[in-house]
Homo-oligomer: A and B are copies of this chain.
């Protein structure tokens, strides 16, 4: 199963005691698949992989793979503390039938580009499963475009990149330097504000946290683009921007995205990095705004939590666009995924 389209980086539901809520995670994964996402992406930054133990990360991948049961491909995060642990995680993901793993540049220390290249070459040589480079310079060492290019040309095991740098010029240069010589190299964008521009310029899809909150909308954008309806895809992309901004404004990432999932009817609990009591007031205000925005998108379970005050009328943009017809969308998505039916 090829890695392309929209891969949803799942949040991890936690119990009040911060342990993993397996039941809710399973329910959430199946809901996402039912909504038509192209694939799943456990142990990404949205999934707070860095706050889990090594064993918990393995457990998350196992739960997601088991629940997906082959319905969609799985790209599993495998960024671990050192190369031997990464390889251990790779073997585990291969055993579970994942399609590929995603590995960040080393984090914490500054590491030279030469060493980063060397690191991925060793991984590529020893990994039993395909690898996507995961570029997220906000949090870990950037994997320079020239390093990506050399790895792409030399290492069959490295099949693509997931770029969360928010840097569109960089994404363009990546496409320009690699696709002509290795057209099958998968270039995913990890920045939902520019999903549509990336697709239009030749990208292969995205790992888009918003697709874990509003999979109907993100998949509609993707399918609109696939069938060439640029205007409708643009309408959705712009509509998404306010939702995205609101989720980022809610508190420490990924708390806002987790709350978006809650508003869709799940019990995700709080993130592993708890908010201070003083931050909660702000959070609840943002939560209500998010509920209204999701409600405006036609998600009734979210609308129930919308407490609109007079001075928070819907924005100009939202007024102009009609509601997404969810049922039609779902039908369409399901049809695409099961063309024979």
Contacts and interface: CB of A to CB of B under 8 A. Distances in A.
Contact of A196 (B54, B196, B201, B251): B201
Interface in A219-262: 230, 234, 237-238, 241-242, 245, 251-253
A323 interface: no
A314 to B, nearest CB: 11
Given A51-B81, A169-B191, A238-B172, A109 B45 contact: yes
A117 B252 contact: no
A23 interface: no
Number of copies of this kind of chain in the complex: 4
A197 B176 contact: no
Contacts of A82: 18, 51-53, 272-273
A155 to B, nearest CB: 15
Contacts of A94: none
A273 B180 contact: no
Contacts of A85: 53
- List the 6 shortest-distance A-B pairs measured between CB atoms, nearest first: A168-B168, A118-B276, A169-B193, A114-B276, A197-B197, A180-B316
Interface of A: 18, 45, 50-54, 81-85, 106-112, 114-115, 117-119, 122, 138-140, 166-169, 172-173, 175-177, 180-181, 191, 193-194, 196-197, 200-202, 230, 234, 237-238, 241-242, 245, 251-253, 272-279, 315-317, 320
